[in-house]
Each structure stands twice: as structure tokens, then as C-alpha cells.
Amino acid sequence: MSSSLHSSNPTVGKAFWATLKRDLKIAIRHRGELANPLIFFLLVITMVPLGVSPSPKTLAMLAPGMLWVVALLATLLSLDALFRSDFDDGTLEQLLLSPQSSYINVMAKVFVHWLTTGVPLTLVAPLLGVMMSLPEAGYIPLLLSLLLGTGSLSLIGAIGAALTVSLRKGGLLLSLIVMPLYVPVLIFGASGVRAAIEGFAYNTQLAVLGSFLALAIIAAPLAIAGALKMSVNN
């Protein structure tokens, strides 16, 4: 029995890394699509002082919520293409029919989405925080909350992407499905940054975001795999 376990573990690992490497290569080839969320993030935050007020006091008050909302929308912008190309060329069907666990394959694809979307948005957010006059106390909470929160956003958003992958114009439906599920992540993410700025502890908000992420890692891939099978079979 122990020998069978040892022989299966490398197979699972190889399946994960094979999907991960493949999707990373595809993402690198489509650099324009990779840049879209970052460009959107930058443009919207740049426009806020012009459209609202250049006052540092006003911007500092808006910064936690605005940075989180725009990061959320930038993540949403990239979701429609998550499974689209694989669905169009038939790769998705082969992936679901493979003997390897759909959970592992789905986790690899969502992980690549987070690496190419969530991580860059998280790293850019402090620079845009300077433009929004974000107080110094808010930078570390902003980084930590986005690091945890964008993982949840990718996993939750992938459920909507899986449900709408067979629809040619499923972007609006995807937004309607995903946005209500994003609300708790947005609330705790933005409130953690605001609490730190106001001098309060933000550990509770980070713990809740971590709990959301843990729950999403366990449950979301199962829901995504089921939604993909339903979409492919329709």
C-alpha cells in the first residue's frame, strides 16, 4: 500500500506542474492580456484625483476603499479569458477527461491566474497608494490584505468563469454571478486597511481574509470542476 502511495504522489505533482508550466507559457505569450488589469488599475486610480479632488486629505479618506474596489474590478476584467482559449480549442475537454484529478488541474490554472493578475496588482498597489495619499500605516495592511484577498478573488471568480465559459458573451453574466460573492472579501480587505490607518488592530480582518482563502482553496476547485463539466457537456 505504501508503494502505491509513493507512486501516486509524483503523478499528482507532475500533473500540477505540467498544467502550471503550460498556462504560464500561454500567459507570457499573451503579454497584452496580462497587462490589461494593471493598465486598468493604473488608469482608474490616476483619474480619481482629477475627478474627485486633489486634496490629500480627501484622497487619504478614499484610498483604502478605492484601491480595493479597483483591484477587485481589475481581477474581474481578466476572468472571462481564464478558460476561454482551452474551451475553444478542445483542451479543456481533454483536461477534464484525463485520469488526473480535476481538482489538481483546476488549482494549477487558478494559481497561474493569481500569479499573473493578483500578485502584480498587489505589488503595484502601494505605488498607487502614494498617488492616493495613503497614510504610511496603511501600506503593510494593504499589501497583506490584497495578497490574501486576490487569492480568494481568483478562486471565486473562476467559478463564474467556469459557468459562463460556453457563452460567447458571458462577461455580464459572469459579473452578476461573481460580484455578490466578492462583497465580503472587499469589506474585510478595505476595513483592515482603514483600521490600520485609524490606529486600530487589523489582525481580525486579516484572519477573516485568511479563512476565506482557506475555505476557497478547499471548496472552490470542486465547484469549478463541476461547472466546467456542465459547461463542456452542454
8 A C-beta contact, residue 172 and residue 132: no
- Check if the beta carbon of residue 59 is closer than 8 Å to that of residue 133: yes
**Integer angstrom CA distances of residue 7 from 11, 102, 210:** 7, 19, 33
Q: Which three cell numbers stand for residue 183?
A: 462583497
pLDDT tens for the 234 residues of the chain, in order: 333 333 344 476 787 888 888 888 888 887 777 889 999 999 999 998 888 888 999 999 999 999 999 999 999 988 988 888 888 887 888 888 777 778 888 999 999 999 999 999 999 999 999 999 999 999 999 999 999 999 999 999 999 999 998 887 777 889 899 999 999 999 999 999 999 999 999 999 999 999 999 999 999 999 999 999 888 876
Closest CA to 73 of 37, 102, 109: 37
The boundaries of the domain holding residue 202 are 2-233
CA-CA-CA-CA dihedral for 36, 178, 150, 138, to nearest 10: 100
Q: Which residues, at least 6 apart from 41, have a Cβ–Cβ distance to it below 8 Å?
A: 70, 71, 74, 121, 124, 125, 128
**pTM, rounded to two decimals:** 0.89
Total domains in the chain come to 1
Q: Please tell me what DSSP assigns to residue 100.
A: S
CA distance 22 to 9: 20
